[in-house]
Structure 1
Amino acid sequence: MEDDGALSKPGAVLACAAMASFYVGILYAPTLILRLPPPSSHTNFLIRRFVCAGVSSVVSVVVSSLLLPIKSGQVWHLLGVYGIRIDHIWQAVVFPLALTALMYAGSLTFMSLLLMNSLREDVNCSGGFSFDFFKSISMEAVSSLRSIACSVKHWRNYVVAPVTEELVFRACMIPLLLCAGFQINTIIFLCPIFFSLAHLNHLMDVYNKQQNNWTRAFMIIGLQLGYTVVFGSYASFLFIRTGHFLAPVVAHMFCNIMGLPVLVSPGKGIISVAFIAGVLGFLWLLFPITNSGLYNDRTDNCSCWQGYCSGN
């Protein structure tokens, strides 16, 4: 990208704030602006929000493309700026997924212990390994996958939200902030602020669920905002280091599936040990496994935002 017409820092911040506001605001457009009747079911409500999130994502892509100092006709270069690429796909999926899984070492250990306990109970009851046990486990896994595939709520949590949020809050915002001259470290902590504020729309829902208790509602929302800031920083780090849109998307999907990491469990110290070991492994591999050379054929004059994928 060229220096001519470069964004100012205030302009980039205002653009990002507008995108974040629009992403949240359009979710309420059907009832407040379009005056559509309330949805007939929760499924229709979520589908309506899918459409709104899609519209918000498209608008953010168009607006950011107009603000970025890229010459007309450079469509493929623009896609590279957004990290939308077909090269190094398996690296962008496997490496960030493995890195993120380290933070859930305690959770994965806990799940493994539950599975082993079930297997042990089956062995004790049947006097040996039972084919029916593995059959039931397989059937439960297939049933769970079928349930996820047919659940609109799961589609929202595991597909629509990760893809649209990463597209708006990482792929569109980060190039704008980089082109405005913000340092990478600043962006890693600035971008998640927009991401976390976009989740404030859950406040009233939490307030109603907590029986109109503002103290509990603010405590829950505060915990959620803290978590989104931490994850937003990590996702921004992945996007900047790899220059690949898929990297933060797969991490986002995995975190949504796993929920909050399991830190401790009564009577099972191995879970705490696994969690600590996972955190140490995560910190040890954080920079090596996100090295830009693993995700780009070259880091000088590369296809993303003019060398920013080098992480310098």
Structure 2
Amino acid sequence: MSEAYEVGSASGLCVVAILCCLVLACSYVGSLYVWNSELSRDHPAVIKRRFTSVLIVSSISPLFLWVWKELTGIKADVAILSLMGFRLDGILTATILPLLLTMLSLDCPWGLLDGLKVAFDSRFWMLCFTDMRWLRNQVIAPLTEELVFRACMLPMLVPCISPGTAVFTCPLFFGIAHFHHVIEQLRFRQGTVLSIFLSAAFQFSYTAVFGAYTAFIFIRTGHVIGPVLCHSFCNYIGFPAIFTALDHPQRATIVLFYMLGVVLFFLLLYPMTDPTLYGDIPICYLLDKGSTDHRSLCL
């Protein structure tokens, strides 16, 4: 790896990184509202228009990373696309292991055999790819949000505040960005003001936690494919139906398996995201070789 970059001021580095992240987050959310429409967010016409705008913002998001590098004078012997997690080294493990890890802590609606049948059912996939809401939730949102809020923001934040702190800071941009749903819910009167804001606060909490998890995966694996697949899977499964499980006749067995899944998740979190399984981690090029972060993440 190349020698660490030299920057005139650590505080200046952080200011530039945070400003770039804020502008990028505002650009992403703002692109959803450039279309003037009285229709709800789930209307196919609205979804198609938003596809266009978020894809445009996502396609130009690498420019923010490039501007950040130019303004800070950071020198790293690695391509911008590699910093963003687009690389082939270790891609097989990056595709499989984080998704398997995520599945441990969530309840899938299908058994193994049923899941395999669905996976190889062409009619199922034809229906999915003609459903605008499915495309939004399972394809466009995971891809564009992970690209913008993880692949572009984390390389800017890591040299400023260290990988560990960046894992918990980056999701704040992600969580705040989801507050735009409040605007639409108030506009279409989808509940009382109190219930809408309580729902938004709850959504911010779990999106921030989930954002920290995918940020952790991105930094540990150096790939964006794992966060995208985990995001898509979680969007499909939804929030764990814990209270429903408590009303089930077999609730003791279900709760036991829930707990077993959570325990296995935490036991395997570090082994299954061991950076040595994924080749050279591009973010390591942004860290000082003598730092504790470099030793723990890159060696």
CA 1:178 to 1:39, structure 2 compared with 1: closer, same or farther past 3 Å?
Answer: same
Distance 1:60 1:295, change over 3 A: same
What is the identity, as a one-letter code, of the residue corresponding to 2:82? G
Residue 100 in structure 1 maps to residue 83 in structure 2:
no
C-alpha contact (below 8 Å) 1:83/1:304 kept by paired residues: no
Answer yes or no: is the 8 Å Cα contact 2:5–2:286 preserved in 1. no
Render the CA deviation track for 1:127-153: whole Å, top value 9, x for unaligned: xxxxxxxxxx76995543322121111
User: What is the CA-CA distance between 1:61 and the residue it aligns to?
Assistant: 1.3
CA offsets 1:139-169 (integer angstroms, 9 cap, x no match): 9955433221211111110011001100110
Q: Secondary structure at the match of 1:8?
A: helix
Structure 2 match to 1:241: 220
Structure 1's 303 and 213: CA in aligned 2 closer, same or farther, altered over 3 A? closer
Equivalent residue number for residue 161 of structure 1: 141
- Letter of the 1:23 partner, please give it: Y
Unaligned runs of 5+ in 2: 288-293
Task: Name the CA distance, whole Å, in 2 between partners of 1:305 and 1:278.
Answer: 31
Q: Does residue 1:55 correspond to 2:45, yes or no? A: no
2:249 matched to which residue of 1? 267
Residues 230-252 of structure 1, C-alpha deviations (whole Å, 9 max, x = no match) = 10000110001111111111110
Secondary structure of the corresponding residue to residue 89 of structure 2 = coil
Provide the residue aligned with 1:28 in structure 2.
33
User: Shift of the alpha carbon at 1:206?
Assistant: 2.9
Question: Match of 1:28, SS?
Answer: coil
SS at match of 2:205: helix
> Matched residues in 1 for 2:204 and 2:237: separation?
18
Seen in structure 2, the aligned counterparts of structure 1 residues 211 and 53 have a Cα distance that, compared at 3 Å, is closer
Distance, in Å, in 2 between the alignment partners of 1:18 and 1:172 is 12
- Name the CA distance, whole Å, in 1 between partners of 2:192 and 2:39: 27
Q: Which amino acid aligns with 1:56?
A: V
For residue 279 of structure 1, what is the aligned residue in structure 2? 262
> What pairs up with 1:115-264 in 2 under 5 angstroms?
142-179=122-159, 181-207=160-186, 211-263=190-242, 264=245
Range with greater deviation from structure 2 (209-218 or 150-159):
209-218
TM-score (norm 2): 0.82
Amino acid corresponding to residue 89 of structure 2 in structure 1: D
Shift of the alpha carbon at 1:186? 1.3
- Of the three residues 2, 7, 11, the one matched with 2:5 is 2
Contact 2:104 2:262 in 1 (8 A): yes
How far the C-alpha of 1:275 sits from its partner, in A, is 0.8
Aligned residue identity for 2:53: C
Residues 157-183 of structure 1: per-residue CA shift (max 9 Å, x gap): 00110011001100110000113x212
Q: Deviation at 1:86? A: 1.8
Q: What one-letter code is carried by the residue in structure 1 that aligns with 2:219?
A: I
How many aligned positions are there?
A: 276
2:94 maps to a residue whose letter is A
Give the direction of change, closer, same or farther, for the CA distance of 1:188–1:161 in structure 2 (3 Å limit).
Answer: same
Q: Percent identity?
A: 33
Larger Rg: 1
Matched residue, 2:291: none
Superposed CA RMSD in Å reads: 2.9
**CA distance 1:222–1:153, change in 2 (3 Å):** same
1:9 CA displacement = 1.1
Deviation of the 1:66 alpha carbon:
1.8
Deviation at 1:98, TM superposition (A): 0.4
CA distance in 2, matches of 1:139, 1:286: 26
Structure 1 residue 63, shift from structure 2 partner: 1.6
Q: Which segments of structure 1 move beyond 6 Å, counting only runs of 4 or more?
A: 37-41, 137-140
